[in-house]
């Protein structure tokens, strides 16, 4: 029983590392895009359109990556 518990814990650790990495990436991207919008005077429709499209593509890529990794959690070891 002890060995199974150790294997379970070692299996769960990559998920925590992966989730932490995703959170850091999301925070960095949101801060970066917020800075760009503040500097670029976001009332212009072109900048607002750029921001909306980039954010939509970024969220779409995150969803695809999440489903790809959760389909085979062993990929988190790479």
Task: Compare 62 and 23 and report the one with higher pLDDT.
Answer: 62
Task: For residue range 8-45, list pLDDT tens digits in order.
Answer: 444 444 454 456 667 777 777 787 777 776 776 656 77
Listing DSSP states for the chain in one string gives -HHHHHHHHHHHHHHHHHHHHHHHHHHHHHHHHHHHHHHTTTTSHHHHHHHHHHHHHHHHHHHHHHHHHHHSGGGGG-
**pLDDT on residue 76:** 63
Per-residue pLDDT for 7 more than 60?
no
Domain ranges of the chain: 2-77
Q: Which of 14, 4, 21 is nearest to 75 (CA)?
A: 14
pTM of the entire predicted model: 0.45
């Amino acid at each position: 029983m002890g060995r199974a518990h150790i294997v379970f814990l070692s299996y769960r650790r990559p998920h925590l590392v992966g989730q932490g990495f995703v959170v850091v990436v999301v925070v960095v991207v949101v801060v970066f895009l917020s800075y760009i919008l503040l500097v670029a005077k976001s009332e212009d429709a072109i900048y607002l359109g750029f921001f909306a499209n980039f954010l939509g593509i970024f969220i779409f890529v995150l969803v695809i990556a999440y489903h790809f990794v959760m389909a085979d959690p062993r990929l988190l070891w790479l």
